[in-house]
Amino acid sequence: MRTNNGIERINREIRRRARVVGTFPDDNSPLRLATARLKYTVKREWGKRRYLDMSKLEETDEPKGKAKG
C-alpha cells in the first residue's frame, strides 16, 4: 500500500535499504545511504513538480501601461 505522505514513504525506502545491507562497516555508512536516497528522490521525483507557476506572479509585477496625464 502506498501512502501520500512523502516523508513516510522516504523513511520506509531508507529503512528497506538499510535492512538489505544488514550491518554497516562504519558509522558514516547509514548516513551516506540515506543522503544518496534523498538526493535521488529530489532529483527524480520532486525536481519535476511545480507547485507554483512563477510566471503568473511576474505578470502581476509588470505595469499594465502608463497613466495618462
Q: In this structure, is the dihedral angle defined by the CA atoms of residues 22, 26, 28 and 33, taken in order, positive or negative?
A: negative
Mean pLDDT of 18-22: 87
| Domain residue ranges of the chain, discontinuous segments joined by + | 6-49
Q: Tens of pLDDT along 35-57?
A: 998 888 878 776 666 666 777 77
pLDDT at 42: 78
pLDDT band of 9, cuts 50, 70, 90: confident
Give yes or no for residue 69 having a pLDDT over 60. no
Angle, helix 6-21 to helix 29-41, in steps of 10 degrees: 140
Please state, for a pLDDT cut of 90, what percent of the chain lies above it: 1
